[in-house]
Structure 1
Amino acid sequence: MTTWRKSSYSDETGGACIELARLSPGVGVRDSKAPWAGHLELPRQSFAALLDYLRRERPSN
């Protein structure tokens, strides 16, 4: 059974958030508001690169 974890940035109304799961051999990403719509699976290295990019390109408040 796959365990999906919701983003810690999510609020009680659902907000715009994602869920992540450890999949073999990658990482699953899906919309928390529509989990039935499927998921995107990324290789671990690609997921790490995506996170690095998002951290660098995050707009400052």
Structure 2
Amino acid sequence: MRKDEFDLMAKVSDEIVAKARTDKAFAKQFLRELGLVDPKGQLTKPYRMISYVKTAQIQP
């Protein structure tokens, strides 16, 4: 990946995070589209595991 492509991706992800912090509906829809949240609003199992690993500070 070229540096300009990487910089563009970083800028877009920063904008997504900023919007998600202020717009909860956007955040929920975005997580659903990524497959991290099921239709009931619960975190999907792979994401729960990542979350557990991060909070427990276990090296994967």
Highest Rg: 1 or 2? 2
Q: Which has the higher strand share?
A: 1
Do both proteins adopt the same fold according to a TM-score greater than 0.5, normalized to the shorter chain? no
